[in-house]
C-alpha cells in the first residue's frame, strides 16, 4: 500500500517553506486563507511524483517557481509496501527540472540514486504499480472544482484508470500476446490460398472434359438446327414467289386509277382559272371610273391651294428671322448696362486702394523703429555674458570636486568601520564551526547505532510476517483442498451423468433399430403370404383351364413366396426378442441416469457455490502463495509446512507490534539522518561564509584602509584652503573626524563629540548652491537673449510683410491709372443710347408686318404660326404625291382587263381536250358563275372519291413488298448455302464423312449424335457450356494469379498435404482467437463489475453524506464503442417527494456536489486492489465544500473519520478554508498562511530532509534553523 511519509517544499508556487511528516494512519485537515498555498501543497505532491504541473493549462514549469525566486525544491518520501522511495525534484527558471530518486528496500542495501529524468519517472511509475498521473487524479485525488471529473470521463478513459489501479496491465499484455496479428492472418490466408490452388489444379482437368462433351453436343445441335433452317428457307422461297405475282396484278389496277386522277386535277385547275378570270374582269370594270375621278380632284388642289400655302410659309419665316435680330439687340443693350456697372465698381476700388497704401506706409515706419530697438538690447546682453560666465563655471567645478573627495572620504571611513565588525563575526564563525564539528561526529556515531537497531527490528518483523503468511496460506490451502475435493466429486458426478446419458442414447437408438427391423420383417412376411395366396389361386385356375406350364410356374413362385414369408416370420420373432431386450436395457439406463442426477445434486449441495473456491484462491494469492496444481500438490505443501497450533490473531498482533517497532526505529533513523544532514549543511554554510567574507586577510585590509583615510584627510584640507574656506571650525572638524575614525568607540560618543562643530559638507554645499544661483541668474538673462532674438526676427518678418503689401498696392494703383475707368464709362453710355433707338425702330417695323397675317405680335406666336403652315404644306405635298400611284393603278386595270378577255378562249379549248377522257360534262354549257362552280364541285367530289393519297401509298407499299420479297428470296438462298457450308465444316471438324445431299436422314447416318438433340435442348446445353467455360476461365485465372502470388511456379501442389497444413494453421488461429476472447472476457467482466461495486459503496456513503436525506442512487451508462462498462456515469437518485428516480441535474447545487463527492469516493474504494502492495493508501480532497453548509460539512467530517473510508485508506487528507472545519474533529491538522506552516500537530522532526549541500542557495542557508543540540531517544 502506498503511504505518504515526509514532504519538504521550498519556493514552490505560493509555498515558501514547508516541512511535513505525515502520520502512518489517520485523517489530516489542512486549513488556511485563500492563496495560502493549500492547493499548492497538493500540487507539490503531484509534481514530486510525476514531475509535471497539476493544472494542464500551465504553459511551462517555470510558472511553478515562487514569484521573485529562481529555484524551487520539492522532496517527497513515501513507502510502497516494504519499499521506501525518496523523490527530490528541483526547478530552475529557464533550465528545467532535476531529479534525484533514492529507492530503499527493507533488508536490502540502498540503491544508487537515479538522476536521469526519464529513467526516474519510469522507475517511479513502475514502483507505484503503473499508476500514472491521470489515474491518480481520477481515483484518489479529488481536485478543487473537480468533483464531476469522473462523470465527464468517457467509458474508455474511466476503464483505463480502473485498469491501472487494479493492476490489470499484465492481463492486457496477455491479451496482446494472444492477439491475432498480421502474420497469423497472413499465414492462415496463405495456407487457405495454397489449399484453394491445389483444389483448382485438381478441378481444371475435370471441367475441361465436361466442357468438351458439352461443346460436341452443341455442335451436333447446330447441325440439326441448320437442317431445320434449310427446310424452312425452301418453304419461304415458294411463298415469296406467289406473293410477287399478286403484287404485279394489283399494281396495274392502281396505275389506271391514278391516271384519271391526274386528268381531273388539270380540269379542276382550268375551271379555277376561268372563275378567277371572270372575277378579275368584274373588279377592273368597277375600279377604273373611281380612279379617274380621284385623279381629277388632285389636279384641282394643285392649281388652287398650293401657291397660297407656299407664300404664307415664306412670310412667316422672314418674320421669325426679324424677331431673332430684335432679341440679339436686346441682349447687347443689357451687356452694355452690365459693363457700365463694372466700370463704376472699379472706380470705387481705386479710391479704396489709395487709402490702404497710405495706411501701409505708416505701419512700415513703425515696424522699422521697433526692429532697431530690439537689435540694440540684444547687443548689450551679449557683452555682459562674455564677461562673467567663465569665472562662475570654474568655481562651481572646483567646489564639486571638493564635495566628491569629501564623499569618498566618508565612504572609506564607513568601510573601515564595517571591516572592524567583520573581524568580530569571523571570530564567532570559527568558534561556532568547532562546536558544529563536534556535534556532527557524535550524531554520526549515534546514526550507525540506530540503523543497526532498525535493521534488526525489521528482520524480526519480516520473520513474523513470513511465518504468519505461511500459516495463513496453509489454512487457506486446507480449505482449498476440501473445496477442491468437493468440486472434483461434482465434476465426476457430472461426467457420470453425461456417460449415463450417452449410454441411454445408444440404447434408445438400438431399441429403435430393433423396432424398425421387426416392423420390416413383419411387413415382408405379410406381403409374402398375400402373394402366396394369390399365386396359389392363379395356379389352381390355370391348371383347371389346362395350362400346366404356366400353372407350374405359378406354383413354384407360390412356394418361393411361402419360403420367403416363413424366413421373414422367423426373423420377425428374433427381432421382437431383441426389441424387448433393448426396451428393458433402456429402462435400466433411464433408472441409472436418475440415480446419477441425484448423486450430482447431492454433490452440488455439498460443494456449494463455486464463489467460495474462487474466494479461497483469491485469499491465497493475496497472501503471496501459489495455487496448487492438484490435490497431491496441496497435500505435499501441507506436509512441508507444519501447523503447531499457533493462533493467526496472535501472530498478526505480534507482527503488527514488530512492524510498529520497525517503523518507529525507521522514523528514528530518519530523524537522526536529518539531524546529521542539518549539521553537515551548517558546517558547509559556516565554511562558505568564512570564504565569502575573506576573513583570513582581515588585518591586512584594516591597515590599508587606515592609510587611505589619512591620505584623503590631507587632500581635503588642501582643497578647502585653496577655496578660501580656512575657518577654524573646519580644521577642528577634520581633526576630530580623523581621531574618531581611527578609534573603536561607539557611534554615540562620536556624534556627541562633533555636536558643536559646523559640518564641512554643509559649508561646501552652501558655496555650490550660491555659485549655481549666480549661474542661474546669468542663464535667466540669457533667456532674454533668446526672447530678444525672437523679437528681432518677428519685427523683421512683419516689416517684410508690410513692404510686400505696399508693393502690391502700388502695382494696383498703376494698373488703375493706365485703364482710366471714367473714360470707359462715358463710352459705354453713348453705346447704350444708340442701341435703345435702333431697338425701338425695329419693333415698330415688325408690328406693321405682323398685322396683315392675322397673327398676334410676339416671337412665340410667329413660331407657332410658321410650324402650322409648314405642316399644312407638307400634307398637301403628300396628297399630291398619291396621284402618280393612282395613275399607275388605272393603267394596270386597263391592261389586266384586256389580257383576261384573251385568256378565256384558251381555257375553254383546254376543257374541250379533257372531255375526250373524262366525258362531255366537263365543258360548261354557259359562262355563268353557277354553271362553272357546279362543274368544279363535281371535279373535287370525284377527286375525293378516287383517294389518290391512298392509291399512291398503296403503290409504294406494293413496291416495297416486291423488293422485300425478292430480297427475302435471295437471303433464303444465301442462308441455305451458308447452312450447307456450316454443316460441311462441322462434319469435317468432327472427322465425319461428307454427304451428297443435306437431308436429316443422310446426316444422322454419318453422325448419329445429331439425332439425339433438338432445339429445345439448346438453352440447357448453352448454360452448361457457359457455366463450364466461366468456371474453367476463372479457375485458370485464379490458378495463375495464386501461382504468382504464392510463387509456386507451374508445379502442381499436393491436395492432401495442403489440406493438412491449412487445418494446422486454422487450429493455431482459433486457439489464439479463443484465448484472446477469454482474456478479453475476463477483462470486460472486471470492468462491468466496477459499476455495481461503485454503486454499492455509493449507496453506503450517500446516507452519511446527506444526513439520511437520500439513501438510494443508481449509476446509468449509455453504450459506448470500446468500453465494456458503457459511457460516462449518469447519477439518478430516488426522490421520496417525487416517488421516482430523478437525475442529478434536477437537484440543488449543494446536493449535486454531495452526489459527485460520493461517486468519487465510491469509485476510489471500488477500484482498490486488496492483493497489491502498490494500491493507493491515501485519498486527497481539495476544497470539496464550495456549496456545503455547516450540516453537510459535519456529515463530511463523519464520513472522513468513519469506518467506511478508514478501513480502505490509511491516510485521508482534506483541504479547506478558514473556519470551515473545527481542527479538534481531526486527529491531525495543519494551518498554512503566506506559504508557510503557522500551526501543526503532525509528528515533528527538526531540520529538513537530507539533500546535498550544493542544492541550496545562500538565502536558503540563512533560513535553516541550526539545532544547538540534538537528542535521539
Residue 475, all three cell numbers: 489454512
Looking up cell 495454397, which residue turns up?
A: 194
CA distances (Å), origin 1006, targets 11, 213, 226: 116, 19, 16
**In the β-sheet with 1130-1135, what is the strand arrangement from edge to edge?**
1113-1116, 1130-1135, 1140-1143
Residue 1135 near residue 1114 (C-beta atoms within 8 A): no
Cβ-Cβ contacts under 8 Å for 534 (sequence gap 6 or more): none
Phi, psi for 1110 (deg, rounded to 5): -125, 140
Q: Is the pLDDT confidence value at 181 over 60?
A: yes
Indicate the SS3 state at residue 1115: strand
pLDDT band at 601 (very low <50, low <70, confident <90, very high): low
Torsion of CA 515, 521, 527, 528, to 10 degrees: -160
> Among 854-858, 1129-1133, 1235-1239, which stretch is predicted with the lowest mean pLDDT?
854-858
Q: Is the pLDDT confidence value at 117 over 80?
A: yes
For residue 388, what pLDDT is reported? Answer: 63
Could you write out the DSSP letters of every residue in 852-914?
Answer: GGT--SSHHHHHHHHHHHHHHHHHHHHHHHHHHHHHHHHHHHHHHHHHHHHHHHHHHHHHHHH
For residue 698, what pLDDT is reported? Answer: 76
Instruction: Give the dihedral sign, CA 1043/1044/1045/1046.
Output: positive
Residue 1111 near residue 1134 (C-beta atoms within 8 A): yes
Cβ-Cβ contacts under 8 Å for 185 (sequence gap 6 or more): none
Listed as own residue / partner, the contacts of 404-411 with beta carbons closer than 8 Å and 24 or more positions apart are 405/712, 405/715, 405/716, 405/719, 406/716, 406/760, 406/761, 406/764, 408/712, 409/709, 409/712, 409/713, 409/716
Q: How remote is the C-alpha of 293 from its chain's centroid?
A: 101
Euclidean distance between CA atoms 740 and 815, whole angstroms:
97
Residue 626, all three cell numbers: 501459489
The winner for highest mean pLDDT among 241-245, 911-915, 998-1002 is 241-245
For residue 793, what pLDDT is reported? Answer: 78
Could you write out the DSSP letters of every residue in 86-109?
Answer: EEEEEEETTTEEEEEEEEEETTSP
Task: Please report the beta strands in 193-312, taking only residues with DSSP state E, as ranges in sequence order.
Answer: none
Q: What percent of the chain has pLDDT over 90?
A: 2
pLDDT band at 89 (very low <50, low <70, confident <90, very high): very high
Euclidean distance between CA atoms 109 and 103, whole angstroms:
10
The CA R_g of the chain, rounded to the nearest whole Å, is: 69
Residue 101 near residue 85 (C-beta atoms within 8 A): yes
Q: What percent of the chain has pLDDT over 70?
A: 86
Residue 866 near residue 313 (C-beta atoms within 8 A): yes
Residue 1126, all three cell numbers: 458503457
Query: Which carries the bigger pLDDT value, residue 836 or residue 931?
Result: 836
Residue 791 near residue 371 (C-beta atoms within 8 A): no
Residue 809, all three cell numbers: 498696392
Euclidean distance between CA atoms 1024 and 1008, whole angstroms:
22
**Mean pLDDT value across residues 657-680:** 82
Euclidean distance between CA atoms 545 and 300, whole angstroms:
151
Q: Is the pLDDT confidence value at 1235 over 80?
A: yes
- What stretch of H or E contains 1181? strand 1178-1182
Residue 36 near residue 1232 (C-beta atoms within 8 A): yes
Cβ-Cβ contacts under 8 Å for 637 (sequence gap 6 or more): 474, 477, 628
> Among 261-275, 1017-1031, 1126-1140, which stretch is predicted with the lowest mean pLDDT?
261-275
Is the pTM for the entire model greater than 0.95?
A: no
Q: Is the pLDDT confidence value at 1178 over 80?
A: yes
For residue 188, what pLDDT is reported? Answer: 77
Average pLDDT, the chain: 77
**Mean pLDDT value across residues 249-256:** 80
Residue 155 near residue 1123 (C-beta atoms within 8 A): yes
Cβ-based burial of 1163 (10 A; exposed 0-12, middle 13-18, buried ≥19)? buried
Indicate the SS3 state at residue 1132: strand
Residue 861 near residue 387 (C-beta atoms within 8 A): no
> Among 46-50, 129-133, 309-313, 1252-1256, which stretch is predicted with the lowest mean pLDDT?
1252-1256
| Nearest Cα to Cα of residue 103 among 126, 135, 74 | 126
Per-domain residue ranges of the chain = 2-129+1172-1240
Listed as own residue / partner, the contacts of 567-570 with beta carbons closer than 8 Å and 24 or more positions apart are 568/521, 568/522, 568/524, 568/525, 568/528, 569/521, 569/525
- What stretch of H or E contains 1135? strand 1130-1135
Residue 153 near residue 1128 (C-beta atoms within 8 A): yes
Cβ-Cβ contacts under 8 Å for 1141 (sequence gap 6 or more): 1114, 1132, 1133, 1134, 1135
Indicate the SS3 state at residue 1118: coil
Could you write out the DSSP letters of every residue in 150-212?
Answer: HHHS-HHHHHHHHHHHHTTHHHHHHHHHTS--HHHHHHHHHHHHHHHHHHHHHHHHHHHHHHH
> How do residues 811-846 score in pLDDT, each as one tens digit?
777 777 777 777 777 777 787 788 778 878 877 787
For residue 1250, what pLDDT is reported? Answer: 41
Query: Which carries the bigger pLDDT value, residue 59 or residue 235?
Result: 235
CA distances (Å), origin 816, targets 342, 483, 824, 990: 13, 143, 12, 138
Percentages of the chain per state (helix, strand, coil), in multiples of 5:
75, 10, 15
For residue 1116, what pLDDT is reported? Answer: 82
Phi, psi for 89 (deg, rounded to 5): -120, 135
pLDDT band at 86 (very low <50, low <70, confident <90, very high): very high
- What stretch of H or E contains 485? helix 182-544
For residue 88, what pLDDT is reported? Answer: 94
Query: Which carries the bigger pLDDT value, residue 58 or residue 615?
Result: 615
> How do residues 435-468 score in pLDDT, each as one tens digit?
888 888 888 888 888 888 888 888 888 887 777 7
Looking up cell 472476457, which residue turns up?
A: 1081
Indicate the SS3 state at residue 417: helix
Q: Is the pLDDT confidence value at 1270 over 50?
A: no
Could you tell me the CATH superfamily of domain 2-129+1172-1240? P-loop containing nucleotide triphosphate hydrolases (3.40.50.300)
Amino acid at each position: 500500500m502506498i503511504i505518504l511519509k515526509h514532504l519538504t517544499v521550498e519556493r514552490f508556487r505560493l509555498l515558501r517553506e514547508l516541512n511535513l511528516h505525515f502520520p502512518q494512519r489517520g485523517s489530516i485537515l489542512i486549513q488556511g486563507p485563500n492563496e495560502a498555498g493549500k492547493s499548492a501543497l497538493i500540487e507539490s505532491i503531484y509534481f514530486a511524483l510525476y514531475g509535471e504541473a497539476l493544472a494542464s493549462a500551465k504553459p511551462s514549469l517555470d510558472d511553478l517557481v515562487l514569484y521573485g525566486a529562481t529555484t524551487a525544491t520539492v522532496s517527497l518520501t513515501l513507502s510502497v509496501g516494504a519499499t521506501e522511495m525518496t523523490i527530490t525534484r528541483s526547478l530552475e527558471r529557464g533550465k528545467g527540472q532535476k531529479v534525484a530518486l533514492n529507492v530503499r528496500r527493507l533488508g536490502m542495501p540502498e540503491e544508487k540514486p537515479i538522476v536521469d529524468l526519464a529513467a526516474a519517472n519510469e522507475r517511479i511509475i513502475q514502483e507505484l504499480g503503473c499508476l500514472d498521473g491521470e489515474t491518480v487524479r481520477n481515483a484518489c485525488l479529488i481536485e478543487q472544482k473537480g468533483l464531476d471529473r469522473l462523470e465527464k470521463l468517457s467509458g474508455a478513459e474511466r476503464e483505463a484508470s480502473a485498469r491501472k489501479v487494479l493492476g490489470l496491465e499484465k492481463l492486457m499484455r496477455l491479451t496482446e500476446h494472444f492477439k491475432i496479428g498480421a502474420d497469423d492472418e497472413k499465414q492462415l490466408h496463405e495456407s487457405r490460398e495454397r489449399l484453394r490452388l491445389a483444389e483448382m489444379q485438381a478441378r481444371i482437368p475435370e471441367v475441361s472434359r465436361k466442357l468438351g462433351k458439352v461443346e460436341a453436343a452443341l455442335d451436333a445441335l447446330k447441325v440439326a438446327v441448320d437442317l431445320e433452317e434449310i427446310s424452312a428457307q425452301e418453304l419461304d422461297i415458294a411463298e415469296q414467289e406467289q406473293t410477287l405475282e399478286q403484287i404485279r396484278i394489283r399494281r396495274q389496277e392502281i396505275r389506271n386509277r391514278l391516271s384519271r386522277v391526274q386528268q381531273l386535277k388539270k380540269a379542276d385547275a382550268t375551271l379555277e382559272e376561268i372563275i378567277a378570270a371572270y372575277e378579275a374582269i368584274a373588279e377592273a370594270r368597277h375600279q377604273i371610273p373611281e380612279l379617274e375621278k380621284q385623279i381629277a380632284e388632285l389636279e384641282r388642289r394643285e392649281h388652287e391651294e398650293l401657291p397660297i400655302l407656299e407664300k404664307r410659309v415664306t412670310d412667316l419665316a422672314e418674320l421669325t428671322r426679324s424677331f431673332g435680330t430684335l432679341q440679339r439687340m436686346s441682349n447687347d443693350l443689357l451687356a452694355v448696362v452690365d459693363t457700365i456697372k463694372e466700370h463704376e465698381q472699379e472706380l470705387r476700388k481705386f479710391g479704396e486702394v489709395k487709402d490702404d497704401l497710405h495706411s501701409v506706409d505708416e505701419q512700415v515706419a513703425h515696424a522699422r523703429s521697433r526692429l532697431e530697438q530690439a537689435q540694440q538690447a540684444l547687443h548689450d546682453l551679449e557683452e555682459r555674458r562674455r564677461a562673467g560666465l567663465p569665472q562662475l563655471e570654474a568655481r562651481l567645478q572646483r567646489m564639486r570636486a571638493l564635495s566628491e573627495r569629501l564623499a569618498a572620504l566618508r565612504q572609506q571611513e564607513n568601510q573601515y568601520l564595517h571591516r572592524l565588525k567583520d573581524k568580530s563575526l569571523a571570530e564567532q564563525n570559527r568558534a561556532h564551526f568547532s562546536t558544529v564539528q563536534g556535534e556532527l561526529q557524535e550524531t554520526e556515531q549515534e546514526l550507525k547505532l540506530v540503523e543497526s537497531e532498525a535493521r534488526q527490528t525489521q528482520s524480526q518483523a519480516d520473520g513474523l510476517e513470513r511465518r504468519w503468511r505461511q500459516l495463513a496460506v496453509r489454512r487457506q490451502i486446507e480449505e482449498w483442498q476440501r473445496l477442491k475435493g468437493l468440486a472434483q466429486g461434482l465434476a465426476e458426478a457430472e461426467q457420470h451423468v453425461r456417460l449415463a446419458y450417452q449410454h441411454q442414447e445408444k440404447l434408445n437408438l438400438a431399441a429403435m433399430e430393433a423396432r424398425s427391423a421387426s416392423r420390416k420383417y413383419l411387413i415382408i412376411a405379410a406381403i409374402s403370404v398375400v402373394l402366396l395366396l394369390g399365386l396359389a389361386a392363379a395356379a389352381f385356375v390355370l391348371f383347371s383351364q389346362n395350362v400346366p406350364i404356366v400353372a407350374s410356374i405359378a406354383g413354384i413362385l407360390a412356394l418361393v413366396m411361402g419360403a420367403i414369408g416363413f424366413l421373414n416370420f422367423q426373423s420377425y420373432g428374433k427381432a421382437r426378442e431383441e426389441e424387448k431386450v433393448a426396451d428393458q436395457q433402456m429402462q435400466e439406463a433411464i433408472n441409472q441416469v436418475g440415480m446419477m442426477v441425484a448423486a450430482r445434486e447431492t454433490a452440488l449441495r455439498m460443494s456449494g457455490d463455486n464463489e467460495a473456491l474462487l474466494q479461497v484462491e483469491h485469499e491465497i494469492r493475496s497472501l503471496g502463495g501459489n495455487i496448487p496444481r492438484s490435490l497431491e500438490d496441496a497435500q505435499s505443501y501441507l506436509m512441508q509446512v507444519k501447523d503447531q497450533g499457533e493462533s493467526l490473531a496472535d501472530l498478526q498482533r505480534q507482527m503488527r507490534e514488530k512492524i510498529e517497532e520497525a517503523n518507529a526505529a525507521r522514523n528514528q533513523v530518519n530523524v537522526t539522518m536529518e539531524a546529521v544532514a542539518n549539521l553537515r549543511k551548517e558546517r558547509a554554510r559556516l565554511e562558505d561564509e568564512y570564504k565569502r567574507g575573506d576573513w583570513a586577510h582581515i588585518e591586512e585590509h584594516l591597515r590599508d584602509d587606515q592609510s587611505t583615510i589619512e591620505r584623503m584627510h590631507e587632500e581635503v584640507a588642501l582643497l578647502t584652503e585653496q577655496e578660501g574656506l580656512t575657518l577654524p571650525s573646519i580644521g577642528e572638524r577634520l581633526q576630530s573626524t580623523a581621531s574618531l575614525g581611527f578609534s573603536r568607540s561607539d557611534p554615540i560618543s562620536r556624534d556627541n563629540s562633533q555636536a558643536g562643530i559646523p559640518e564641512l559638507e554643509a559649508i561646501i554645499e552652501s558655496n555650490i548652491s550660491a555659485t549655481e544661483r549666480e549661474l542661474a541668474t546669468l542663464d535667466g538673462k540669457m533667456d532674454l537673449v533668446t526672447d530678444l532674438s525672437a523679437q528681432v526676427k518677428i519685427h523683421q518678418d512683419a516689416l517684410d510683410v508690410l513692404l510686400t503689401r505696399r508693393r502690391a498696392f502700388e502695382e494696383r494703383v498703376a494698373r488703375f491709372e493706365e485703364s482710366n475707368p471714367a473714360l470707359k464709362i462715358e463710352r459705354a453710355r453713348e453705346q447704350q443710347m444708340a442701341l435703345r433707338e435702333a431697338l425701338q425702330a425695329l419693333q415698330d417695323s415688325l408690328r406693321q408686318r405682323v398685322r396683315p397675317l392675322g397673327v398676334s405680335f410676339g416671337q412665340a406666336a410667329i413660331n407657332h404660326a410658321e410650324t402650322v403652315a409648314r405642316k399644312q404644306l407638307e400634307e398637301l405635298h403628300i396628297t399630291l404625291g398619291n396621284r402618280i400611284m393612282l395613275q399607275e393603278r388605272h393603267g394596270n386595270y386597263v391592261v389586266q382587263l384586256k389580257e383576261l378577255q384573251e385568256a378565256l378562249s384558251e381555257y375553254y379549248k383546254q376543257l374541250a381536250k379533257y372531255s375526250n377522257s373524262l366525258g362531255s360534262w366537263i365543258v360548261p354549257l354557259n359562262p355563268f358563275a353557277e354553271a362553272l362552280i357546279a362543274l368544279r364541285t363535281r371535279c373535287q367530289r370525284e377527286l375525293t372519291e378516287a383517294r389518290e393519297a391512298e392509291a399512291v401509298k398503296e403503290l409504294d407499299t406494293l413496291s416495297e413488298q416486291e423488293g422485300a420479297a425478292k430480297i427475302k428470296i435471295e437471303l433464303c438462298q444465301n442462308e441455305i448455302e451458308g447452312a450447307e457450308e456450316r454443316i460441311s465444316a462441322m462434319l469435317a471438324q468432327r472427322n465425319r464423312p461428307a454427304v451428297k445431299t443435306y437431308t436429316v436422314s443422310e446426316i444422322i447416318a454419318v453422325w448419329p449424335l445429331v439425332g439425339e438433340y433438338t432445339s429445345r435442348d439448346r438453352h440447357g446445353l448453352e448454360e452448361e457450356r457457359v457455366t463450364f467455360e466461366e468456371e474453367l476461365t476463372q479457375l485458370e485465372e485464379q490458378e495463375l494469379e495464386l501461382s504468382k502470388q504464392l510463387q509456386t511456379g507451374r508445379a502442381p501442389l499436393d491436395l492432401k498435404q495442403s489440406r493438412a497444413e491449412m487445418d494446422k494453421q486454422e487450429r493455431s488461429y482459433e486457439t489464439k482467437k479463443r484465448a484472446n476472447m477469454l482474456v478479453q472476457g475476463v477483462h470486460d467482466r472486471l470492468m462491468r463489475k466496477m459499476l455495481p461495486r461503485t454503486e454499492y459503496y455509493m449507496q453506503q456513503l450517500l446516507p452519511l453524506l446527506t444526513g439520511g436525506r437520500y439513501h438510494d442512487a443508481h449509476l446509468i451508462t449509455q453504450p459506448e464503442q470500446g468500453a465494456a462498462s458503457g459511457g460516462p456515469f449518469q447519477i439518478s437518485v430516488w426522490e421520496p417527494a417525487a416517488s421516482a428516480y430523478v437525475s442529478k441535474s434536477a437537484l440543488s447545487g449543494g446536493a449535486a456536489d454531495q452526489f459527485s463527492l460520493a461517486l468519487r469516493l465510491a469509485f476510489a474504494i471500488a477500484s482498490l486492489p486488496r492483493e497489491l502492495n502498490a494500491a493507493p493508501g491515501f485519498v486527497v480532497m481539495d476544497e470539496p465544500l464550495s456549496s456545503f453548509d455547516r450540516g453537510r460539512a459535519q456529515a463530511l467530517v463523519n464520513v472522513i473519520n468513519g469506518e467506511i473510508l478508514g478501513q480502505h485508506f490509511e491516510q485521508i487528507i482534506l483541504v479547506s478554508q478558514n473556519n470551515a472545519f473545527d481542527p479538534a474533529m481531526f486527529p491531525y491538522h495543519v494551518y498554512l498562511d503566506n506559504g508557510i506552516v503557522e500551526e501543526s500537530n503532525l509528528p515533528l522532526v527538526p531540520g529538513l530532509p537530507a539533500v546535498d549541500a550544493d542544492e541550496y542557495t545562500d538565502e536558503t542557508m540563512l533560513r535553516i534553523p541550526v539545532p544547538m543540540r540534538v537528542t535521539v531517544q
